[in-house]
Structure 1
Amino acid sequence: MTRPVIGVPVIGVLALQGDVREHLAAVRDQGAEALTVRRQEELAGVDGLVLPGGESTTIALLAERFGLMDPLRAAVRGGLPVYGSCAGMILLADRLLDAPPGQETIGGLDVTVRRNAFGRQADSFESQMSFDDGVGGGPLHAVFIRAPWVEEAGEGVTVLGRIVGGAADGRIVAVRQGNLVATSFHPELTGDRRVHALFVDIVRRSLAEKAGTAAGNERGLS
């Protein structure tokens, strides 16, 4: 049997609100095809998805209005690789602190996230932080804009990054759980592409696993 060919991964960026264009450019820099996702049929055609920064309550409300919230939850449960930055981290969290009443999330990450943990817009800042992507490269320069942080992470969650120094020293700002990655900061606004490289690699590995499973199923039926 011919083994399925793994092509260029197709990665969508949820384009309801937020910094969509910057994520599209960062994904393309990693050799993936990038497209906007606003409808359920567009979501069904991607191999991975980015949830951009923006206003998490607005994104959640628009996702409900566009009929995307339940399909997004189903996609996460089904193993779709998803990366969330800032508001995207909030949307992926199973639990929230300091959230407005009734705020919905997509969920999937076994974390408790505190919204606006570093303060309001005027308290936005840039900082060097530790980041463990399995490759190295030293500290990562990160941009935080009305950013959340992870207050508590479940046993199955790997901490990828923490703040170094200052009042927030040691706070968790980057995590991974299986095919899900989330950061408090905005790597799309800097020239450091390590977070996007990590995510695109996760998508490629997911595609390879699916191709291997398909090939095995074909052999089993032959």
Structure 2
Amino acid sequence: MGNVTTIGVLALQGDVREHLSALTDCGVRAVAVRRPAELDAVDGLVLPGGESTTMSRLLETFDLLEPVRRRIADGMPAYGSCAGMILLARQVLDGRADQRQLGGLDVVVRRNAFGRQVDSFETDLSLVGLEGGPVHAVFIRAPWVESVGPDVEVLATVPRSLQQEPGAGAAEGRIVAVRQGMVLATAFHPELTGDGRVHRLFCDLVRGGDRSLNAATG
């Protein structure tokens, strides 16, 4: 794949352009992925926000479901935001019966979990290993993680301060960012805020630098 790190963004549906821009700002080659041949040419893959059931169906339509599964199983770094987190999960609650999973994360995710509380909202989160203080997180009808397997690291949970949002008390402590090996996922949308730290973290993971996600939050 050459000396230049190439990271793809699954470009079937969702906020593709924002992720491509954020990745380019990290100094990598960012490309849209719609075909298996394009997937073969990338060092890592971003699964963007959007509508998870639609994305699942399009993965099959474009003959990408099994190729993406294989690449992730073989160790390709992947990052999913919102709908991307849902696709990467082992199991989804409140999903459709025909929804397909990529299985890159040993987690159970509840789809549209925040829909019953606050629909769309913003809050500041402390994310393990992210230098520079809390990240401003944008949630848009977001999922949360109900449970994690033994190899999954929890990177962020909903803070107590979110109770200030109407009806959001049930969300306190819910898991909204995780990592398992080379797979990273957030329930929120860092590509929408102009804060490139989550993308830089992923780009470093793809490059092999891995700015230790186990480090104390700075």
**TM-score, with length taken from structure 2:** 0.89
Q: Which residue of 1 aligns with 2:188?
A: 185
Choose from 66, 70, 78 the match for 2:66.
Answer: 70
Show the 5 A alignment for 1:114-193.
Answer: 114-119=110-115, 123-132=119-128, 134-165=129-160, 166=163, 167=169, 168-193=171-196
* Cα contact 1:81–1:206 (8 A) shared by 2: no
Show the 5 A alignment for 1:18-167.
Answer: 18-119=14-115, 123-132=119-128, 134-165=129-160, 166=163, 167=169
Query: Residues 157 and 22 of structure 1: is their aligned pair in 2 closer, same or farther, counting only changes over 3 Å?
Result: same
* Cα contact 2:94–2:111 (8 A) shared by 1: yes
Question: How many Å apart are 1:122 and its aligned residue?
Answer: 7.2
Question: How many Å apart are 1:120 and its aligned residue?
Answer: 6.3
Show the 5 A alignment for 1:1-16.
Answer: 7-16=3-12
Give SS of 1:175's match: strand
Cα separation, 1, equivalents of 2:46 and 2:24: 12
Q: Which residue of 1 aligns with 2:214?
A: none
Instruction: State the Cα deviation string for residues 5-29 of structure 1 (Å, max 9, x = none).
Output: 9722100000000000000000011
Q: Which residue of 2 aligns with 1:220?
A: none
Cα separation, 2, equivalents of 1:120 and 1:78: 37
* Cα contact 1:130–1:163 (8 A) shared by 2: no
Larger-gyration structure (1/2): 1
Write the letter of the residue equivalent to 1:194. R
Write the letter of the residue equivalent to 1:118. F
Choose from 186, 200, 203 the match for 1:200.
Answer: 203
Unpaired segments of 5 or more residues in structure 2?
Answer: 164-168, 211-218
Question: How many Å apart are 1:169 and its aligned residue?
Answer: 1.5
Unpaired segments of 5 or more residues in structure 1?
Answer: 208-222
Give SS of 1:125's match: strand
Cα separation, 2, equivalents of 1:153 and 1:110: 6
Cα separation, 1, equivalents of 2:50 and 2:116: 13
Query: Residues 38 and 6 of structure 1: is their aligned pair in 2 closer, same or farther, counting only changes over 3 Å?
Result: closer
Instruction: State the Cα deviation string for residues 128-170 of structure 1 (Å, max 9, x = none).
Output: 11211x2422111100001000000111001111111221121
Give SS of 2:99's match: coil
* Cα contact 2:155–2:178 (8 A) shared by 1: yes
Instruction: State the Cα deviation string for residues 17-73 of structure 1 (Å, max 9, x = none).
Output: 000000000001111000000000000000000000000000010110010000011
RMSD over aligned Cα atoms: 1.8
Cα separation, 1, equivalents of 2:86 and 2:117: 16
Over the matched positions of the two proteins, sequence identity in percent amounts to 62
